[in-house]
Amino acid sequence: MTRTGIIAWSVLGIIGSAFLLFCGGWVALFAFAISIDAPHAWKGDIRFGLIYGLIALALIIGAVLLLRGSIRRLRSLRARPTAGIAEQSS
C-alpha cells in the first residue's frame, strides 16, 4: 500500500472511531434511561438496560481498538532517524 493509501485509511479509521464512540455514548445514555424507567412510555427493565449497556461497551471498545490501529499506522510513517556515520576503527 502506498503512503497516501495508508494515510487515507488511517484518517477513515479515526473518523470511524469518532463515530463509534459517539454512538456508544448515546447507546450508554439510552441504556441508563431504560434501566431507570425514564421514558415512561414503557416499563423500565434492568435487563434491557444491561443489554444495551453491553452493546455500548462493545461499541466503545471497538472505537478504541480502531483508533489505536489507525494511530499505529500513522506513527509507522514517521521518518526514522538514520544511523550516524559508522565509527571508524583505528
What is the model's pLDDT at position 12?
95
The answer to whether residue 90 scores a pLDDT higher than 60 is no
Domains of the chain: which residue ranges? 3-75
Q: How confident is the model at residue 39 (pLDDT cuts 50, 70, 90)?
A: low
Q: What residues have CB less than 8 Å from 66, skipping those under 6 apart?
A: 13, 16, 17, 20
Q: Distance (Å, rounded) from C-alpha 73 to C-alpha 70? A: 5
Written as nine digits, the cell of 27 is 447507546
Q: How confident is the model at residue 78 (pLDDT cuts 50, 70, 90)?
A: confident
pTM of the entire structure? 0.76
The answer to whether residue 82 scores a pLDDT higher than 70 is no
